């Protein structure tokens, strides 16, 4: 079951500041050994591969071994924090298919990466909410990398852009060593999704791009590892659900792959081919 998108229905700033620590789900990793066992999953009732269909991946483009991995902790799993709205809900308890985490986990398993996933994603949240809790969540989760896909619920405007900038500023002020993988957003234009909502996508994506990248397309902060592009996922019924205004399971697979490609250069992960839609 997918969390419904609640447009412009968000908690107050005070309420957002009291959000409890993010939920955590831990999956077994392909790199676990008898002397270094993988943690047990927090929710064993959900199948590891969920219900998300995958197309598989072609062989990597070059010879690759786990020795290529860099910027990875050697004494513990990589900690990944999701900070998103319901368009990419992630590992919330109500998402029986685990959202995009299933495909992302499959790719990390194939790369031999141990990882832990923490989730601060909330359906209906906007930049107002994230500004209210981001410092507390970063302190609680102690992530190595933060995946950000938020602004779907923001009306286009200078205030939203300023809040997005503050989110990044607060993250790096709380932990200057964390890396951030933000993405451009995708908003459903499949009926009966409301037209006014889709109309905010270009302006919000322009704001995200301007906050994250300089005039040459390079990250404005050295620990922004690139800018993923969810909006390149085709806006049709195969990938986007007009009734729920969310990615379908197939769309979640594409979202996961976009995030994987975004963090690949920083962590030295094996590449996967670009998808053909």
Segment 232-268, tens digit of pLDDT: 999 999 999 887 788 888 898 999 999 999 999 999 9
Q: What is the mean pLDDT of the chain?
A: 76
Q: State the sign of the Cα–Cα–Cα–Cα dihedral 257, 264, 144, 34.
A: positive
CA distances 136 to 120, 131, 132, 225, Å, are 11, 10, 9, 22
Residue whose C-alpha is closest to residue 210's, from 135, 160, 136, 250:
160
State residue 122's pLDDT score.
79
Residue whose C-alpha is closest to residue 200's, from 180, 224, 184:
184
Separation CA 231–CA 234 (nearest Å): 8
Residue 24: pLDDT above 90? no
**Better pLDDT: 145 or 197:** 145
**Confidence category of residue 8, pLDDT binned at 50, 70, 90:** very low
Separation CA 253–CA 236 (nearest Å): 15
Collect all residues with Cβ–Cβ distance below 8 Å to 141 and sequence separation of at least 6.
21, 22, 24, 79, 81, 118, 120
Beta strands in the chain (DSSP E): 23-26, 78-84, 115-119, 145-149, 179-184, 228-229, 240-241, 246-247
194 close to 187: Cβ distance less than 8 angstroms: no
What is the CB-side half-sphere exposure of residue 247 using CA atoms within 13 A?
30
State residue 63's pLDDT score.
65
Residue whose C-alpha is closest to residue 233's, from 167, 163, 149:
149
**For the segment 31-80, what is each residue's pLDDT rounded down to a tens digit?**
333 333 333 223 322 222 333 333 334 444 456 777 788 899 988 999 99
**Better pLDDT: 74 or 147:** 147
State residue 196's pLDDT score.
79
User: For 142-146, what is the mean pLDDT?
Assistant: 96
State residue 89's pLDDT score.
62
**For the segment 206-216, what is each residue's pLDDT rounded down to a tens digit?**
999 999 999 99
Collect all residues with Cβ–Cβ distance below 8 Å to 107 and sequence separation of at least 6.
57, 256, 257, 260, 269, 272
Residue 14: pLDDT above 70? no
- Whole-model pTM: value is 0.77
User: For 156-169, what is the mean pLDDT?
Assistant: 94
State residue 54's pLDDT score.
33
State residue 65's pLDDT score.
73
Residue 163: pLDDT above 90? yes
Q: In the 8-state DSSP scheme, what is residue 169?
A: H
């Amino acid at each position: 079951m997918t969390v419904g998108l609640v447009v412009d229905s968000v908690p107050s700033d005070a309420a957002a500041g009291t959000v409890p620590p993010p939920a955590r789900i831990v999956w077994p990793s392909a790199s676990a050994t008898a002397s270094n066992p993988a943690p047990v999953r927090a929710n064993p009732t959900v199948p590891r591969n969920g219900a998300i269909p995958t197309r598989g991946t072609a062989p990597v483009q070059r010879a690759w071994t786990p020795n290529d991995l860099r910027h990875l902790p050697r004494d513990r799993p990589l900690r990944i924090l999701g900070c998103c709205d319901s368009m990419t809900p992630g590992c919330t308890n109500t998402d029986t298919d685990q959202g995009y985490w299933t495909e992302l986990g499959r790719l990390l398993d194939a790369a031999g990466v141990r990882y832990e996933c923490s989730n601060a994603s909330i359906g209906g949240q906007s930049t107002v909410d994230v500004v209210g809790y981001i410092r507390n969540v970063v302190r609680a989760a102690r992530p190595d990398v933060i995946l950000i896909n938020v602004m779907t619920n923001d009306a286009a405007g200078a205030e939203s852009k300023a809040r997005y900038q503050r989110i990044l500023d607060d993250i790096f002020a709380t932990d200057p060593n964390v890396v951030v993988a933000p993405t451009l957003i995708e908003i459903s234009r499949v009926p009966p999704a409301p037209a006014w909502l889709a109309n905010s996508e270009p302006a919000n994506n322009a704001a995200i791009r301007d906050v994250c990248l300089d005039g040459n397309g390079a990250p404005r902060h050295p620990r922004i590892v690139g800018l993923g592009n969810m909006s390149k996922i085709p806006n049709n019924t195969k990938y986007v659900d007009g009734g729920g205004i969310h990615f379908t399971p197939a769309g979640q697979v594409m979202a996961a792959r976009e995030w994987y490609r975004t963090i690949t250069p920083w962590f030295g992960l094996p590449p996967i081919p670009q998808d053909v839609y």
